[in-house]
Amino acid sequence: MSCKAFNLSPVAGGLGAEISGVDLATPLGEAAIAEIRQALLDHLVIFFHDQHLTPEQHLAFGRRFGYLNVHDFVDGMPDHPEIIEVKKEEYETGSNFGGEWHSDVTYLEEPALGSILYAREVPHFGGDTLFANMYLAYDALSEGMKRMLAGMTAVHSARRAYSPRSNYFSEGRRSMKIRRDNAAEAEVEHPVVRTHPETGRKALFVNRTFTIRFTDMTEEESAPLLNYLYRHATQPEFTCRFRWQRNAIAFWDNRCVQHYAINDYHGQRRVMHRVTVNGDRPY
C-alpha cells in the first residue's frame, strides 16, 4: 500500500503495519502527519525502521499528536522528563518493565492516547513486543456478554505497580528509577467497553496491570470475569509480534491496544526511550 508521504505494509491480520520512506527526524508537514495519524487509526500500531532521532526530535514528533505525559512514578531523563528510559541491564535477571499484558497509565482520569517507543539498544535475540487489538477482542464477544458489559465500569489504580506495599517491582528492575508512592493508591473508574473518540468503534478496556475490580464489586467477585476477559483479549489471532532492531520505532494507539514486553533476553542489555501522548477521558 502506498500513501502520498510514505509506503505502508500490514504485518498481521489482527493489527500492525510497517511504514517506510519517511524520516521522523525531519520536520514533517501537516499532510504527512495526518497520513501517519490515519495509519495509526487504521492499523492501531505502526512501525518505523532505521530512524535516527535525538531526544529533542523524538519529543518534537510526539508533540505533533498532542501534549506529552510526565510519568507519576517513573523518572524521566534528567533533561527531558517526558522521556522514560525503559532499560534492563545485562546483570538484571528479574522481571522487566511492561512484562505483562496492559494498556499504559489507565490509572489516570485521562489515559494515554498512545506511546512512541524508540529502540536505542537491543539484545542480539529476544526482547520482542506483542500487541493486541481490543476492537477485535470486543467484536468477538457473544451478544449476551456485550449486553452484560454495556454500561459497566471498572476501577483502575496504580497500586499494584507503584504502591509502597507492592512487590511488583523486583530487584531485576533496579536500573530504572521507579518511585513507590502512596499516591498510587488513588482510584478512577472507566467503562469496561470504551468508544474510540476518533473512529467511533468499541474496544474492550480492562487490563491486568491497572484494572482492580468492577465498580460496586469486590476484587474476589470481579476476578472470574476479569480473568476471562484478559485471556479472551490476547488470543493469537488478535495480536502481532514486533522484533526490534536498533533505531526502530513502534507507535501504538493506547485507546484500543494492549501490549506485552517479552522478558526472554537475560544477560543482554536493552534500552528504549518512550514518549507518551496524553489522551482523553474514556466514555
Give me the phi and psi of 187, to 5 degrees please: -125, 150
Report the distance separating Cα 213 and Cα 216, nearest Å. Answer: 8
Helix (H, G, I), strand (E, B) or coil at 222: helix
CB atoms within 10 A of CB 48: 23
Q: Which residues contact 185 (CB under 8 A, 6 or more apart)?
A: 157, 159, 163
Q: Half-sphere exposure of residue 280, counting CA atoms within 13 Å on the CB side?
A: 8
**Lookup: cell for 226:** 476479569
CA distance 151 to 193: 8
Separation of alpha carbons 149 and 227, rounded Å = 14
Task: State the catalytic residues.
Answer: 102, 104, 259, 274
Rounded distance, CA 39 to CA 46, Å? 7
Alpha-carbon Rg for the chain in angstroms? 18
Residue 7 · residue 19 · CB < 8 Å: yes
Residue 76 and residue 86: Cα distance in Å, rounded? 10
Question: Got the DSSP string for 152-177?
Answer: -EEEEESHHHHSTT---S-GGGTTS-
Which amino acid is it at 21? G
Question: Grid coordinates in use for 201?
Answer: 468503534
